[in-house]
Structure 1
């Protein structure tokens, strides 16, 4: 599995905030899904409240 850095913005009470998360995944598509999943479980956000700008290996 490869290490990917997922970056983007998420909606919080004070507006949109930037983020950068490192995830281990087999490809970019799965890395995006892991990022959405992590924000949902840790922060209680829906997919519409998270914008992914890029995924880098």
Structure 2
């Protein structure tokens, strides 16, 4: 498994809040899905409210 760094922003009360997180995943698509799932669960967001800007290994 590789480590991926995912950066982006999500909709919050004060506009958009930036984030950066590191995830262990098999590939880039799995890392994207994991981050969307995790942020949606933690902050009560829909996938359309999360903007992933970059996924790098």
TM-score normalised by the chain length of structure 1: 0.96
- Deviating beyond 6 angstroms after TM superposition, the runs of 4 or more aligned structure 1 residues are none
Listed one character per residue, the Cα deviations across residues 7-34 of structure 1 (whole Å, up to 9, x for unaligned) are 0010000001110011110000100000
Three-state SS of the structure 2 residue aligned to 1:45 is: coil
Deviation, 1:36, is: 0.2
RMSD: 0.5
- Structure 2, unmatched stretches of 5+, are none
Name the CA distance, whole Å, in 2 between partners of 1:28 and 1:38.
Answer: 15
Number of residue equivalences? 57
Q: Aligned residue for 2:48?
A: 48
Rounded to whole Å, the distance in 2 between the matches of 1:7 and 1:22 is 9
